[in-house]
Amino acid sequence: MTGSERGQTMTQVDTAETGQGGAGRRDLGSGAWSASIRRAIRRGSRPEPWKRGPVLAASALLLGLLMLLHAEIPNRVGNLGSLVETFLPWFGVFVPVLLAGALWRRSASAVAALLLPVTVWLHLFGGMLSDKSHAGGDLTVASHNVSADNPDPAGTARDLVASGADVLALEEITPQARGVYEKGLAKAYPYHTVLGTVGLWSKLPLSDSRPVDIGMDYGPLGATKPAAVKLAYNRGLRTTVATHHGPLAVYVAHLGSARVNPRAGFATDARDRNAQLLGRAVAAEKSKRVVVLGDLNGTTDDRAFAGLTARLRSAQEVAGDGFGFSWPAAFPVARIDQILVRGVQPVSSWVLPATGSDHLPVAAGISW
């Protein structure tokens, strides 16, 4: 091969290699350009932050409306309204759950929608987050459902004496345990009255003690107990405590149970009848100063107690520290043990340590 032929061959090879390399570079540039286009399309098709998470935003709005309009939820189907109101403070737990979802989805609309339930919850319960109690008080009252299944009534009596309460109400006293409580409380409380399954022990004299018929499961509202029904089944009493500031009317009550079951929903018929009759008794009370102590088997948010809460104030709401949940003792989720007052001023309210009962005792300091 001559020199000119070798040069021509090398030129052809260089040209071919250059062409192939150029095509490779063009192909590479085309792939990167296509990837950029795909990324731009994905960015263009992705919703803006205000359009993301519509389900989360709707859930937040529904949660806020549920808490805001809880009084409008009807009770016609399974007492749904009362059930919601019983656990109303716990609906605030859904706020951080929804917030976590909103941040994960980067949804500005869901975060904004959460302002409604947060505002409503703080309006309803923000005051419960602060300590409103004050030192002092003229009289300390306490209430405890001691439980019919209490394995240690003597120990419960000792714990209650240690509370230092001046007036002590007990509910769910069984005939078998009555003597134990009377013996265990006698030294600290020289005055007491027991009517049926409820009783009151006091460091101050008592007078005018009588049962209050709250209609325990004996027919329609307002029905009276048959004569054959023994006093042992009575679950309400009224007495007068002779304080240094004058007479104080004290009611002790244990209302009917509330149960949740698949068929009846929130079954509260007996309790609601009891609450209405107790409300009527308090409304007819002539004394200016009244205290209601007892296991009402419901919270003061429940509309079933409107007849009581319209005339009485909750010591926990006025002067408590926190929600004061009292049941169940192992993990309290609701305050169903109440101290309600009229004509006196609560200065403090608190929950006492657990005893052998499934309820926690509650106490309050009141002042004239």
Q: Is residue 312 part of a domain?
A: yes
CATH classification at residue 164? 3.60.10.10
Query: pLDDT tens digits for 175-209?
Result: 999 999 999 999 999 999 999 999 999 999 999 99
**Helix/strand/coil for 30:** helix
CB-based contact 109:50 (threshold 8 Å): yes
Helix (H, G, I), strand (E, B) or coil at 334: strand
Question: Are 102 and 145 within one domain?
Answer: no
In a domain, 16, yes or no: no
Q: Does any domain span residue 156?
A: yes
- Write out the residue range of the structural domain in which residue 82 sits: 49-129
Q: Are residues 273 and 197 in the same domain?
A: yes
- 150 and 265, same structural domain? yes
Percent of the chain with pLDDT over 90: 78
* Residues 149 and 254 both lie in one domain: yes
Residues 232 and 329 in one domain: yes
Domain assignment present for residue 240? The answer is yes
The residues, ordered by sequence, that sit 6+ positions from 72 with a Cβ below 8 Å of its Cβ are none
Grouping H, G, I as helix, E, B as strand and the rest as coil, residue 270 is helix
Q: Are 57 and 109 in contact (CB under 8 A)?
A: yes
Cα–Cα distance between 317 and 154 in angstroms, integer? Answer: 32
355 assigned to some structural domain: yes
Contact of 202 with 186, CB cutoff 8 Å? no
Q: Which of 129, 162, 180 is the last residue of a domain?
A: 129
Whether residue 98 lies inside any domain: the answer is yes
Structure tokens at 131: 């300590």
Q: Measured between alpha carbons, how far is 111 from 97 in angstroms, rounded to an integer?
A: 12
Residue range 310-367, pLDDT digits in tens: 999 999 999 999 999 999 999 999 999 999 999 999 999 999 999 999 999 999 999 9
One-letter amino acid identity for 78?
G
318 and 185 assigned to the same domain: yes
Which residues, other chains included, contact 191 with Cβ-Cβ below 8 Å and sequence gap of 6+?
201, 202, 203, 204, 205, 206
Amino acid at 97: V
Task: Classify residue 262: in a domain, yes or no.
Answer: yes
Position 100: which residue type?
A: A
Q: Are residues 185 and 301 in the same domain?
A: yes
Domain termination site, one of 129, 158, 190:
129
Query: Are residue 115 and residue 143 in the same domain, yes or no?
Result: no
Q: What is the predicted pLDDT for the residue at 218?
A: 43
- pLDDT value for 58: 97
Among 73, 100, 129, residue at a domain's last position: 129
Give the pLDDT band (50/70/90) at residue 227.
very low
Which tokens go with 178? 């009555």
DSSP letters of 122-169?
HHHHGGGGSB---S--SEEEEEEE--TT-S-HHHHHHHHHHTT-SEEE
169 occurs within a structural domain: yes
CB of 326 within 8 A of CB of 351? Answer: yes
Check whether residue 217 and residue 193 sit in a common domain: yes
Predicted local distance difference test score (pLDDT) of residue 121: 98
Is residue 223 located within the same domain as residue 250?
A: yes
Q: Are residues 110 and 169 in the same domain?
A: no
Phi and psi (nearest 5°) for 166? -80, -35
Same domain, 244 and 95: no
Question: How many structural domains compose the chain?
Answer: 2
